[in-house]
């Protein structure tokens, strides 16, 4: 029986010979004459060209006329130059991945972009959450105050003056009726106020007292302004579950306004194209449905934290799972079957008989060189189940990070930074899935994950740490008790099932040995 890894290695070598991977060829004469120039190393020549470009861009030979006079502009130009130099190095010298289409250098460039993104996230992680404030009472950044209020009306908003522009007012505050001693809720947030924190109490003739702190996230948000000028402004989070009626009779213009607004939301095409891309990468329909239903469970779990996750039942079940996700998975699996059914016998461009054949062969360079039918086999054993479950957890965490990052750092959904991140993650995920599947099918006793797998996990972890650090105090509502019981039960059932499965497996092996 032939091992899958050996079969893939021979197929990769054969495909590399057709496409010109010089590391897999015995000699340069085997390359196609029309494309051989793109696969020959010219690192020294390109280094000299890059040095000339640096001389021109930096004004090294004419510093008097190249000075901008603005330190911020100079720092920005220097950072962009650093990024360009690093990407040029990765393009020429970084290790190649298992992907060779359309050119190995493309994936080396993606590797460099992933490293830059990881470094930028690490820099953002080390920014301060709170700034030093002027003390007004106690030490250690906390203040104690007391205010006796007698007003008419239900809403009372006494103000306490702090230094700086606070984003969150958090503390142990109590509101009590002076004559009834009845405790009521206390916290009200007004991040847009200039040097003012508002604390709200309901009722009249109340006593407001407590210990409070004011947090500030301007460091991280000011850094985001360098990436896009529209950032740094608080965003209204849309709640999709505010009105779950399908038919709205009091709206004369559109009695199906709720459904109409949800259908034409920007997340609908994102759902469809996203699941189409995931289906092409994962190529396993049951695993895709686990991820689809799993993300809806994540929305249900974190809806007390993000208003964006507060969806109606028909939006979550019908529109998301049964329409958008299903259509994306269906289209993606049809694409997988199309490429899986093709015969991959590549012929060089120079050997094409006519112009149309050469054009078609050139465009085919952007299609897969061969198509591997990935087999995940999550029920192969307990350890394989944990490995596939880890893939699902990382996948769902990356998707959740999208929503938590934009909420904590005030990035609107239509900002191009969101699109850039999703495109970068898509480019990173393509080789990551291939590397991870090859890692699972590798039979060697000692093995390690590929570079993209390592980078993907590192980026996911740092993104999660940013959400935790800069989300501190943004989510005052606790998780509902039934959710805690639900996930605790799921976790216990999973641990017990894996333990029983492992015990049965060991018993079977022991009986066979006896």
Instruction: Write the CB contacts of 284 (distance below 8 Å, at least 6 apart in sequence).
Output: 374, 375, 376
Kindly provide the residue ranges of all beta strands, DSSP E only, lying in 68-182, ordered along the sequence.
143-149, 155-156, 159-161, 168-177
Mean pLDDT of 249-263: 75
Percent of the chain with pLDDT over 90: 32
Task: Give the pLDDT of residue 150.
Answer: 32
**Which of 348 and 466 is assigned the larger pLDDT?**
466
For residues 411 and 224, give the distance between their C-alpha atoms in angstroms, rounded to a whole number: 9
For residues 350 and 339, give the distance between their C-alpha atoms in angstroms, rounded to a whole number: 24
For residues 155 and 69, give the distance between their C-alpha atoms in angstroms, rounded to a whole number: 53
Percent of the chain with pLDDT over 70: 71
pLDDT tens profile 476-508: 888 999 999 999 999 999 999 999 999 999 998
Task: Give the pLDDT of residue 289.
Answer: 95
**Which of 78 and 248 is assigned the larger pLDDT?**
78
Q: How deeply is 43 buried, as exposed, middle or buried, from its count of CB atoms within 10 A (0-12, 13-18, 19+)?
A: exposed
Helical packing angle, 382-408 and 481-513, nearest 10°: 160
Please report which confidence band the pLDDT of residue 78 belongs to, taking 50, 70 and 90 as the band edges.
confident
For residues 439 and 375, give the distance between their C-alpha atoms in angstroms, rounded to a whole number: 12
Determine phi and psi for 132, rounding to 5 degrees.
Answer: -70, 135
Q: What is the chain's mean pLDDT, rounded?
A: 75
pLDDT tens profile 276-334: 999 999 999 999 999 999 999 999 999 989 888 888 888 888 888 888 999 999 999 99
Mean pLDDT of 109-113: 94
Q: List Cβ<8 Å contacts ≥24 apart for 11-20.
A: 11/370, 12/98, 12/100, 12/370, 15/100, 15/344, 15/346, 15/369, 15/370, 16/100, 18/346, 18/347, 18/348, 18/369, 19/100, 19/101, 19/346, 19/365, 19/369
Q: Which DSSP category does 109 fall into?
A: H
Mean pLDDT of 150-163: 37
Please report which confidence band the pLDDT of residue 174 belongs to, taking 50, 70 and 90 as the band edges.
very low
pLDDT tens profile 206-253: 444 444 444 445 566 667 777 777 776 666 666 666 667 777 777 777
pTM of the full structure: 0.75
Mean pLDDT of 352-381: 80
Q: How deeply is 339 buried, as exposed, middle or buried, from its count of CB atoms within 10 A (0-12, 13-18, 19+)?
A: middle
Mean pLDDT of 189-194: 37
For residues 268 and 257, give the distance between their C-alpha atoms in angstroms, rounded to a whole number: 16
Please report which residue ranges of 442-477 form alpha helices under DSSP H. Answer: 451-470
Q: How deeply is 503 buried, as exposed, middle or buried, from its count of CB atoms within 10 A (0-12, 13-18, 19+)?
A: exposed
Task: Give the pLDDT of residue 443.
Answer: 83
For residues 237 and 407, give the distance between their C-alpha atoms in angstroms, rounded to a whole number: 8
Task: Give the pLDDT of residue 54.
Answer: 86
- Establish how many alpha carbons lie within 13 A of residue 479's alpha carbon, considering only the half-sphere containing its beta carbon: 13
Domain spans of the chain, in order of start? 4-125, 143-216, 259-480, 481-514
For residues 344 and 356, give the distance between their C-alpha atoms in angstroms, rounded to a whole number: 19
The full DSSP string for 342-354 is: S------GGG-SS
Residue 17 pLDDT > 60: no
Least confident piece of the model among 15-24, 59-68, 222-231, 435-444: 15-24
Least confident piece of the model among 49-63, 155-169, 414-428, 472-486: 155-169
Residue 177 pLDDT > 80: no
Please report which confidence band the pLDDT of residue 269 belongs to, taking 50, 70 and 90 as the band edges.
confident
Least confident piece of the model among 103-112, 195-204, 476-485: 195-204
**Which of 136 and 415 is assigned the larger pLDDT?**
415
Residues in the chain, overall count: 514
For residues 95 and 108, give the distance between their C-alpha atoms in angstroms, rounded to a whole number: 7
Please report which confidence band the pLDDT of residue 176 belongs to, taking 50, 70 and 90 as the band edges.
very low
Task: Give the pLDDT of residue 220.
Answer: 67
3-state secondary structure of 198: strand
Task: Give the pLDDT of residue 44.
Answer: 87
Task: Give the pLDDT of residue 239.
Answer: 62
Task: Give the pLDDT of residue 112.
Answer: 95
Please report which confidence band the pLDDT of residue 88 belongs to, taking 50, 70 and 90 as the band edges.
very high
Residue 360 pLDDT > 90: no
């Amino acid at each position: 029986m032939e091992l899958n890894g050996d079969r893939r290695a021979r197929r990769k070598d054969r495909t590399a010979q057709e496409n010109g991977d010089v590391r897999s060829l015995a000699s340069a004469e085997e390359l196609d004459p029309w494309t051989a120039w793109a696969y020959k190393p010219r690192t020294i020549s390109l280094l000299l060209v890059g040095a000339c470009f640096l001389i021109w861009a930096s004004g090294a030979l004419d510093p008097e006329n190249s000075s901008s006079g603005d330190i911020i502009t100079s720092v920005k130009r220097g950072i962009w130059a650093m990024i360009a130099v690093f990407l040029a190095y990765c393009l020429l010298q970084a290790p190649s991945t298992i992907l060779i289409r359309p050119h190995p250098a493309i994936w080396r460039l993606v590797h460099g972009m992933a490293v830059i993104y990881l470094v930028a996230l690490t820099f953002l992680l080390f920014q301060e959450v709170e700034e030093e404030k002027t003390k007004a009472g106690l030490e250690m950044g906390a203040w104690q105050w007391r205010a006796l209020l007698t007003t008419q009306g239900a809403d009372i908003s006494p103000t306490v003056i702090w230094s700086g522009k606070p984003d969150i007012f958090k503390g142990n505050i109590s509101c009590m009726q002076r004559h009834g001693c009845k405790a009521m809720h206390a916290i009200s947030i007004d991040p847009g106020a200039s040097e003012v924190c508002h604390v709200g109490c309901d009722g009249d003739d109340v006593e407001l007292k407590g210990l409070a702190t004011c947090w500030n996230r301007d460091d991280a948000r000011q850094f985001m302004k360098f990436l896009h000028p529209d950032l740094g402004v608080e965003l209204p989070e849309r709640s999709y579950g505010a009105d779950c009626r399908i038919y709205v009779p009091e709206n004369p213009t559109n009695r199906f306004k709720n459904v109409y607004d949800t259908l034409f939301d920007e997340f609908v095409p994102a759902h469809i194209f996203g699941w189409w891309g995931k289906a092409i990468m994962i190529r396993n329909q049951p695993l895709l449905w686990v991820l689809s239903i799993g993300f809806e469970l994540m929305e249900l779990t974190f809806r007390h934290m993000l208003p964006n996750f507060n969806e109606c039942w028909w939006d979550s079940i019908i529109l998301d799972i049964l329409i958008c996700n299903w259509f994306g998975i269906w289209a993606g699996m049809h694409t997988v079957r199309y490429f899986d059914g093709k015969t991959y016998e590549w012929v060089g461009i120079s050997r094409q008989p006519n112009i149309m054949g050469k054009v078609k062969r050139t465009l085919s360079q952007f299609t897969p060189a061969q198509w591997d039918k990935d087999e995940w086999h999550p029920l192969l054993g307990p350890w394989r189940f944990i490995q596939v479950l880890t893939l699902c957890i990382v996948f769902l965490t990356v998707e959740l990070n999208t929503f938590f990052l934009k909420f904590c750092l005030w990035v609107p959904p239509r900002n191009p930074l969101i699109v850039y991140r999703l495109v970068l993650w898509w480019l990173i995920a393509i080789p990551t899935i291939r590397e991870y599947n090859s890692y699972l099918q590798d039979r060697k006793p000692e093995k390690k994950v590929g570079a993209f797998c390592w980078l993907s996990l590192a980026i996911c972890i740092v993104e999660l740490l940013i959400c935790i650090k800069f989300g501190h105090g943004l989510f005052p509502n606790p998780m509902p008790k039934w959710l805690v019981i639900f996930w605790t039960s799921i976790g216990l059932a999973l641990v017990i099932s894996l333990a029983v499965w492992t015990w049965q497996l060991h018993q079977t092996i022991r009986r066979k040995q006896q």
